Chains A and B, each alone.
Chain A
Amino acid sequence: MKTRHKRLAIIASAVTALGVASILVLNAFQSNLVFFFSPSQVAAKEVPIGKSFRIGGLVAEGSVQREDSSTTVRFAVTDTAQTIPVVYTGILPDLFREGKGVVAQGKMSAAGIFEADEVLAKHDENYMPPEAAEALEKAAKSQKASLVE
């Protein structure tokens, strides 16, 4: 084996070892690397108690209520299995919509309401013109209708 081949083998095995080590580390950190918790995790009490954390999910359809005299908004975050009520005072991002993704940071109150001090919109990876989105929605609706019949 020539010296340079030996060197290549050493480098290759060092990089491999490093890769394996980082996989193990990342695996160990898995639960600490979550950016947000789902409503189901909140309901199962898997969230840090007494500390600020983030919940993420969809804004439940028909749940958004705005107060007339202030910027306080009440809505519910759902992952379809569990739903958590949220109250927030402040300006909402443009993409905040019912049925769309949302990530809120705050604390659980004693009454089981999530008091958010920051609300972020999480959008999906789909990009299309509005006409295409409309057509998709129509197709989904007619499919639903035919299922009901």
Chain B
Amino acid sequence: MAINWFKYSSPASFYFLAGKMIPIFVFAAVILLIAGLYVGFFVAPTDFQQGEAYRIIFIHVPAAWMSMFLYVVMAFWAGIGLAFNTRLSSMFATAIAPTGAMFTFIALWTGALWGKPMWGTWWVWDARLTSELILLFLYIGFMSLQAAIDDPRRADKAGAIIALVGVVNIPIIYFSVQWWNTLHQGASVSINQAPSMATTMLMGMLIMVLASWMYSIAVILKRARVIILERESHTAWVAELRKKGAEQ
């Protein structure tokens, strides 16, 4: 029997599926986070140039990757919601935004902490740093625009347009270090080249990336569940949940 995928595009069935999935992702996130931090702080060797200070890479790079990746996913679901008028896709986009904004902030903040001792400055207006800051403003713009419009369906549409317009910024962030002279160095890990990092350093970083993935999925599913309950509060199944909750 084929699985009916469209079944899970209904908010009601997705709500219960997400509820079952969250603990798995929370568990995976905790395990990977502990493993990643252990490798990062105790197993990975000291760097030949930067000494111990380079270890902030284990937070900085996963956060920066997630900030870009989550934006693309958010824009994708917002676009699907805009094109097909599917409620769950738009709710998903709304659920992704705060996590994406958080990772963008972490990337900028750890970058500043790293830049001061290594480069000699907290902040410079080079192409990489500036485009990442624009990404933070895009996330904040998306969230505040949605919050400013009372009708959720109209808020979804307006937000989707910001999200889609902002997608052009993602390749700019990614390729900024290749296209222009920047203070930020080039990519250590890329698709078409062997990574320019020692293996244990790379392992630690990749485990941290996986941990960030698991964390993001868990938090976004949780937030999507809350949004579903809010927006579907007029339906019979939510009313039934409420009744069950009141009885307990």
Binding site for B on A (CB under 8 A): 4, 7-8, 11, 14-15, 18-19, 22, 26, 30, 33-38, 56, 92-96, 100, 103, 118-134
Contact = CB atoms under 8 A, between A and B. Distances in A.
Contacts of A100: 49
A127 B50 CA distance: 9
Contact of A7 (B45, B83, B186): B83
Contacts of B118: 93-95, 121, 123
B187 A120 contact: no
> For chain B, which range describes its interface: under 10, 10 to 19, 20 to 34, or 35 or more residues?
35 or more
A126 B57 CA distance: 12
B172 A26 contact: yes
B4 to A, nearest CB: 20
A121 B120 contact: yes
B197 interface: yes
Contacts of A93: 117-120
Interface stretch (B32-40, B103-111, B121-129): B121-129
A127 B54 contact: yes
Interface stretch (B141-149, B175-183, B211-219): B175-183
Nearest to B198: A128
Given A4-B83, A35-B127, A122-B185, A130 B46 contact: yes
Q: Which of B57, B180, B188 has the most CB of A within 10 A?
A: B180
Interface stretch (B22-30, B160-168, B227-235, B238-246): B160-168
A4 B85 contact: yes
A125 B124 contact: no
B124 A127 contact: no
A129 B124 contact: no
A8 B78 CA distance: 12
Contacts of B82: 7, 11
A128 B120 CA distance: 22
30 contacts: A7-B83, A11-B82, A11-B83, A18-B164, A18-B165, A22-B168, A26-B172, A26-B179, A30-B179, A34-B180, A35-B180, A37-B181, A38-B181, A93-B117, A96-B120, A120-B124, A121-B119, A122-B185, A123-B118, A124-B185, A124-B186, A125-B185, A125-B186, A126-B188, A126-B196, A127-B50, A127-B54, A127-B57, A127-B198, A131-B45
A10 to B, nearest CB: 8
B168 A19 contact: yes
Given A8-B83, A26-B172, A123-B185, A129 B46 contact: yes
B168 A129 contact: no
Contact of B121 (A18, A92, A120): A120
A114 B50 CA distance: 27
